[in-house]
A and B are shown apart, each in its own frame.
Chain A
Amino acid sequence: DAGVIQSPRHEVTEMGQEVTLRCKPISGHDYLFWYRQTMMRGLELLIYFNNNVPIDDSGMPEDRFSAKMPNASFSTLKIQPSEPRDSAVYFCASSLGRAGNTIYFGEGSWLTVV
């Protein structure tokens, strides 16, 4: 299996622009997670889905952030409009079944908003 695939790997954008990050989970996994990592705050869970349904979005920082999972093999995280404080590494992760199983992370999308 190719693992969790994220795109783009790196993005530099200007403040105010829309940013869309994409994720393809491991085939067959029914949980998908979006995390954000910064030096100051570490790894934070933004939102997670189970069977394509958003379960907990309490970590989404504000209305500028939105996430969708239209099918089992694709998810997007959108920031509109982007701000410099959104600069971070955004990780997508997936796992199979209930909470007892290992979670697999993608390589991350490195976002810089200038």
Chain B
Amino acid sequence: KQEVTQIPAALSVPEGENLVLNCSFTDSAIYNLQWFRQDPGKGLTSLLLIQSSQREQTSGRLNASLDKSSGRSTLYIAASQPGDSATYLCATKGAGNTGKLIFGQGTTLQVKP
């Protein structure tokens, strides 16, 4: 059974800092991995999707990497801004292509002005 872990659970950084959020998973036989952002009281917004054959994806100041062999993914946020404050969740989709996403518990990020 796939387990997805995100450490730390919370992170506070000053504005402008580059930071890395971590995601680990126990079963490397994944179809893809997605990073989501959740603002308080809101649903989840997909940030980046990495297919199992890919090593990384980039969107603006965000870069997500995937290392299936070690069961790890990282989300790199460059030049953080207060508007980046949110909870970030990673989720894996199994290689069976069942459509089922398994989520981590998330990392709550606070970027202080």
Q: A residues touching B (Cβ–Cβ < 8 Å)?
A: 4, 31, 33, 42-43, 45, 48, 50, 55-56, 91, 93, 95, 98-108
Report B-chain residues with C-beta under 8 Å of the C-beta of A99. 31-32, 93, 97-99
With a cutoff of 8 Å between Cβ atoms, the chain A residues found around residue B99 in the complex are 31, 33, 48, 50, 55-56, 95, 98-99
B71 CB → nearest A CB, Å: 18
User: In whole Å, how far is A56's beta carbon from the nearest beta carbon of chain B?
Assistant: 6
A-B contact pairs, 7 of them (CB 8 A): A42-B103, A56-B99, A93-B44, A104-B46, A105-B43, A105-B44, A107-B42
- Name, among A43, A55, A93, A106, the residue most crowded by chain B CB atoms within 10 Å (CB to CB): A43
Q: Is the CB of B49 within 8 A of A43?
A: no
Grouping DSSP codes into helix (H, G, I), strand (E, B) and loop, the B interface class, with mixed when no group exceeds half, is: strand
Complex Cα–Cα for A31 and B36 (A): 18
Q: Is the CB of B98 within 8 A of A55?
A: yes
Count residues of chain B with CB under 8 A from any CB of chain A.
24
What separation, in Å, do the CA atoms of A100 and B49 have in the docked complex?
A: 8
Q: A106 to B44, alpha carbons, bound, how many Å?
A: 8
A48 to B100 Cα, complex, angstroms: 8
B34 contact set on A, CB distance < 8 A: 102-103
In Å, the complex CA distance between A63 and B62 comes to 42
Given contacts A42-B103, A42-B105, A43-B89, contact A98 B43 (CB under 8 A): no
Residue of B43, B49, B104 contacting most chain A CB atoms (<10 Å): B43
Q: How far is the CB of B93 from chain A (nearest CB, A)?
A: 5
Q: Which residue of A lies closest to B32 (CB)?
A: A100
The reply to whether A98 and B100 contact each other, CB–CB distance below 8 Å, is no
Asked if residues A42 and B46 are in contact (CB atoms below 8 Å), the reply is: no
**A12 CB to nearest chain B CB (Å):** 16
Contact with A along B65-103 (1 / 0, CB 8 A): 000000000000000000000000101010001111111
